[in-house]
Amino acid sequence: MNEKAEELNRVEKKDLFGSGHRACGGCGQALAARLVHDAAGENTIACVATGCLEVFSSPYPDPCWRIPFLHSLFENPAAVASGVEAAYKALKKGPVNIIAQAGDGSTADIGFQCISGMFERGHNVLYVCYDNEAYMNTGVQRSSFTPYGAWTSTTPMGNPTRKKNLPLIAADHGIPYVATATVDDFRDLQRKVKTALSIEGPKYIHILVPCPLGWGHPGELTVKICRLAKDTGLFPIFEIIDGKVTNVKKIPVKVPVEEYLKPQGRFRFLFKKGVPTEKVAEIQEIANQNIERFNL
């Protein structure tokens, strides 16, 4: 039993998502991709959606992947992964880890149909959503994961709607494992990937990945911003195992949302000459609701 725990908690660095990709400096998604695939190991097939990840990682002739990857379209990695899984079953090959992955736009909007279908059919596929809270690759347009009040190029006055809660929607499909994670706590993220891959059935991991360009902060603050997202309560960290919310990461010292909003250029319109507007209080309310709901 202890060996298993050791294996689960061991930090992996194999660079299966290698150097030479064209991500911006400090890209949270590049970091997350490497952490996820190193945790999954070499016996993995990645089904990737069009988006920042695909575009910066797989140009011909020098993709940075060291494990096989399959990319077709923007909205279908879940369906493609279902096909790969079905093929492996039919051909009696494997076992193999199949990770379908996409950004927030592909997961929550245009690809919602596909992942709902994949979850419902019960394929043995891990779905990873890299949530950078907008359609970053096409120029920072709004998605249904864009948080309230954020500037995007299609909501220049601040996003008027609240972030869709996909982890809960995924859990309600009856899948055995759902988790949220951030890139600053790499041990936690890798443990969650390994845990997920040890369970049969559809799994969903939702990773918050700061985008320096789209969020308007310097690349070096990526890890710090993740921490602030957690510590303000705006991004709760938890697992849902067989429908029950568990392993909620409690916040040791609650941080007011201003500290999270101020360093990001996309929230600059929430402050007039450094003074927060009423929107900030509304965002604080969202954070408070999260804290209460998940008992952070």
Q: In the window 239-278, what residues touch other proteins (CB under 8 A)?
A: none
Nearer to other proteins, 83 or 256 (CB): 83
Nearer to other proteins, 76 or 290 (CB): 76
Judged by CB under 8 A, the residue of 4, 9, 10, 62 near other proteins is 62
Judged by CB under 8 A, the residue of 135, 186, 235, 238 near other proteins is 186
SS3 assignment, position 148 = coil
User: Would you mind telling me the total number of residues written for the chain in this entry?
Assistant: 296
183: which 2 tokens?
Answer: 């890139």
Judged by CB under 8 A, the residue of 8, 72, 241, 294 near other proteins is 72
118: which 2 tokens?
Answer: 């994949």
C-beta of residue 251 within 8 angstroms of C-beta of residue 233: yes
Smallest gap from Cβ 74 to other proteins, in A, equals 8
> CA angle, corner 188, sides to 203 and 223, nearest 5?
115
C-beta of residue 77 within 8 angstroms of C-beta of residue 54: no
Rounded Cα distance between 115 and 75, Å, is 9
Nearer to other proteins, 64 or 237 (CB): 64
Residue 204 in the binding site for other proteins (CB under 8 A): no
Residue 106 in the binding site for other proteins (CB under 8 A): no
Rounded Cα distance between 273 and 143, Å, is 28
Smallest gap from Cβ 91 to other proteins, in A, equals 6
Q: At which residue do the structure tokens 């690809």 appear? A: 111
Judged by CB under 8 A, the residue of 91, 157, 253, 275 near other proteins is 91
Residue 210 in the binding site for other proteins (CB under 8 A): no
Residue 189 in the binding site for other proteins (CB under 8 A): no
Residue 121 in the binding site for other proteins (CB under 8 A): yes
Smallest gap from Cβ 287 to other proteins, in A, equals 20
Judged by CB under 8 A, the residue of 89, 250, 268, 293 near other proteins is 89
Nearer to other proteins, 45 or 280 (CB): 45
Rounded Cα distance between 237 and 54, Å, is 26
Mention every residue, 6+ apart, whose C-beta is less than 8 A from residue 198.
none
Judged by CB under 8 A, the residue of 82, 124, 137, 284 near other proteins is 82
Judged by CB under 8 A, the residue of 7, 42, 200, 259 near other proteins is 42
Residue 52 in the binding site for other proteins (CB under 8 A): no
Nearer to other proteins, 114 or 286 (CB): 114
CA distances in angstroms from 232 to 44, 131, 235, 278, listed in the order given: 35, 17, 8, 17
Identify residues 1-40 at the interface with other proteins (CB under 8 A): 11, 13, 15, 18-28, 30-31, 34-35
Smallest gap from Cβ 115 to other proteins, in A, equals 10
Nearer to other proteins, 8 or 245 (CB): 8
Rounded Cα distance between 87 and 73, Å, is 19
Judged by CB under 8 A, the residue of 36, 37, 51, 71 near other proteins is 71
Size of the site for other proteins (CB under 8 A): 75
Residues of 145-154 as b/e, b for ≥16 C-beta within 10 angstroms? bbbbbbbbee
Task: State how beta strands 271-272 and 275-276 pair.
Answer: antiparallel
Rounded Cα distance between 237 and 229, Å, is 10
152: which 2 tokens?
Answer: 């995007």
